[in-house]
Structure 1
Amino acid sequence: MTAIAAPRWREQMDATFGLSLPAPPIGARGLVRHRTLGHIDAFRVAGTPQLLRRTPHAIRSAESAPLKVCAVRAGEVVLRRDDLPDLRLGPGDIALYDTGSPYELRLMNRWNCTVMTIARDDLALPSRTLCHALEHQLPGQGPGAVLTQLLESAVDDAFARSDTAILLGHASVDLLTGLAYELDAPTAPDHALRIAVLGHIREHLGDPDLGVTSIARAHRISPRTLHRLFAEEEWTVSETIRNLRLDAVRSDLVNPNLAGRSIMAIAAAHGFFDQSHLTRAFRTRFGTTPAAARREA
């Protein structure tokens, strides 16, 4: 792919990320590749030294304000935000930031970044854990390295099946979730057990008996201990089950490969067996009905 020179690069950054280059962007050029992976988007972005800004005007004009992950592969990046500490990132470093707040990216040397965008509602993290991840650099080793490599491969490699892309998107979200919990580990001594519980919930969403009793039994803990694990989280155990079920239903409803399956068949696969209950819960979480979500996909 040929690098794009200014002013086309300015237009590309505005259209892709809602970012502006201070005028005149002399010498600024770069290239970007993109692939949609279910509910997330993955990018490979590279370029010459430049300054990019997310302005209040761009935020007001945007249709959405997703969270963004930036993994630096080459060069140096300084992320500056008004209300959070500056982050200086080098090769192998990862940062999570909110495009709903103004920020500035100072990209130095010949830089190369892997980027992922995800809606805030699609990242099932407690508020405390999310805030901690936004304030600090994420671990670039272990799951961080796997996440970066997965996103790079997804962007660079051609694959025809859309369900493959959706599965890669789910894997990326799980890795990002694990990264955030790993960073939060010093302030959450029970984080390993909590992650195991969340994994159990995701694996058993279709089980009508999934609940506090069955989860506690599976992990050989008391219901009281299970409730304590979630005492400081954004959602209770029951709310976590419901919201993850709803997220799974929505994901399948917008999957074109499942267009032939009825809404209730999809819902039942994730633990919803009453249509009116599903519709009420779905509207509360997403502001629309399951049928409307499928039509609008």
Structure 2
Amino acid sequence: MIETVIRTADVPAEDRFEYWRDNLRRMHAPMDLVSAHSADFRASQRILRFGPVSVLTAAYQPLVFRRTPKLIRQSDPEMYHLALVTRGRGGATWDDHEAEYRDYDLHCNNSSRPCSVWVDDEQDMIESVGVKVPKVLLPLPRTKADQVVGRLMSGRDGVGALFAGFVTRLAEDASTYQPADGPRLGAVLIDLMSAVFAHILDANDRLSPESHQRVLVMRVRAFIRQHLHDPKLTPAVIAAAHHISTSYLHRLFQLDGVTVMAWIRQQRLEHARRDLRDPALRAVPVNQIAARWGFTHHAAFTRAFRAAFGTYPTADRAEPPPVKDA
């Protein structure tokens, strides 16, 4: 994984807008930029590269991006960019239509298509997180995939929420991944973007069985995380919620060398340990924290905690938090 960070705060105020524009042109594609805030432009972007796939987080003041036919002829990286607006409002205009975006809307752009993208000038900043994937890697016919551009989709539910949650967590937790994780994470991002496109186009039959399976695993794990507090969460409940058999659910987890219940237990224990170490929850009894994460019997929780972490919950809570390097 390669990380690049661009901050206009790193250069003098009078150079910031040009610095931002030049970096976007160099790292993404030729474009024209206009902003009423160019005298002291505030913006930042973080790019995480997982092979040919990139995850981008950005925050910037209102402006207008333009990709004209002339600029496209100069250079076209042939990318699809699927972005989630996490704060703010904006929109985009193409030859035949336009769309407006608000918090937790997903929108897609195509580097080969002329467009203008704007940010509402009545706000201070807009924030977003997104994924860029080379067109050639998306397992959908180009003519079908192109139809996603300009189509609205929510990042709050369904496959849109799955994409939003995974990309947001990936951007937040990037420091925990190893270089060897890059190709696998890149493949997952391609599968998720493909699933979003297929959902918008109602073209799920065009995805490969492997892509379907990987997206299903992510759906299942997201469902489990949302229901860890429920002591009645069982493989049968999970399978029924996803319209698959219990035996198929077990096979999905066996591909990663773990059982369903072992994965659930590990997730519960990790969340309970995090709460035990939270100073704000110091006064909450251990058994209440255990119950919060689906453990109905204190003795069973204590045994599982010691087996996983080599210490008792009360002893772990008493340990000072690890000191981070300066």
Q: What TM-score does the superposition give when structure 1 sets the normalisation length? A: 0.59
Which of 65, 85, 89 aligns to 1:72? It is 85
2:72 to 59, 62, 67: 59
How big is the shift at 1:31?
0.3
1:237-256 to structure 2, matched below 5 A, reads none
* 2:40 corresponds to 1:35: no
CA–CA distance in structure 1, aligned partners of residues 143 and 210 of structure 2? 16
Say yes or no: does 1:167 pair with 2:180: no
In structure 1, the residue matched to 2:262 is none
- Deviation by residue 1:94-130 (Cα, 9 ceiling, x = unmatched): 1112111111111122100112111111001134541
CA separation of 1:118/1:56 partners in 2, compared to 1, >3 Å: closer, same or farther? same
Question: In structure 1, how many angstroms separate the alpha carbons of the residues matched to 2:212 and 2:85?
Answer: 32
1:103 matches 2:115 = yes
Deviation at 1:50, TM superposition (A): 1.0
Rate the CA distance shift 1:10–1:201 in 2: closer, same or farther, 3 A.
closer
Pick the aligned partner of 1:145 from 161, 179, 189. Answer: 161
| TM-aligned CA deviation for residue 33 of structure 1 | 0.3
Per-residue CA distance 1:178-227 (angstroms, 9 max, x = gap): 11121223xx6xx4x6557464799xxxxxxxxxxxxxxxxxxxxxxxxx
Equivalence for 2:151: 136
Contact 1:139–1:179 under 8 Å retained in 2: no
* CA 131–113 in structure 1, closer or farther in 2 if over 3 Å, else same: same
Aligned to 2:22: 11
- For residue 101 of structure 2, what is the aligned residue in structure 1? 89
1:214-262 Cα shifts (integer Å, max 9, x gaps):
xxxxxxxxxxxxxxxxxxxxxxxxxxxxxxxxxxxxxxxxxxxxxxxxx
Any idea what the Cα deviations from partners look like across 1:43-89, whole Å, max 9, x if unmatched?
10111111111233332222522111121111111111124x21101
Bigger radius of gyration: 2
- 1:150 and 1:199, CA in 2 relative to 1: closer, same or farther beyond 3 A? closer
How does 1:212-223 map onto structure 2 within 5 Å?
none
SS in 2 for 1:52: strand
TM-score using structure 2 length: 0.54
Consecutive unaligned residues in structure 1, runs of 5 or more: 203-297
Whichever residue aligns with residue 73 of structure 2, its letter is R
Question: Using the alignment, how far apart are the partners of 2:129 and 2:28 within structure 1?
Answer: 13
Instruction: Determine the C-alpha separation between the residues in 1 that align with 2:142 and 2:103.
Output: 28
CA-to-aligned-CA distance 1:12-39 (integer Å, 9 cap, x gap): 2222222321377344331000110122
Deviation at 1:145, TM superposition (A): 2.3
Identity %: 18
Distance 1:54 1:81 in 2: 10
What is the rounded CA distance, in whole Å, between the counterparts of 1:89 and 1:61 in structure 2? 29
CA distance in 1 between counterparts of 2:77 and 2:68 reads 14
Change (3 A) 1:29 1:13: farther
Query: Against the structure 1 CA distance between its residues 93 and 23, is the aligned structure 2 distance closer, same or farther, given a 3 Å change threshold?
Result: closer
Which of residues 124, 143, 155 in structure 1 aligns to 2:171? 155
Cα pair 1:73 1:91 within 8 Å, conserved:
yes
Contact 2:64 2:118 (C-alpha < 8 Å) held by counterparts: yes
**Contact 2:89–2:119, Cα closer than 8 Å, also in 1:** yes
Question: Which of 12, 22, 43 is the equivalent residue of 2:34?
Answer: 22
- Aligned to 1:180, what secondary structure does the other structure show? helix
Give the RMSD, CA atoms, in angstroms.
Answer: 2.8
Higher RCO (Cα < 8 Å, 6 or more apart): 1
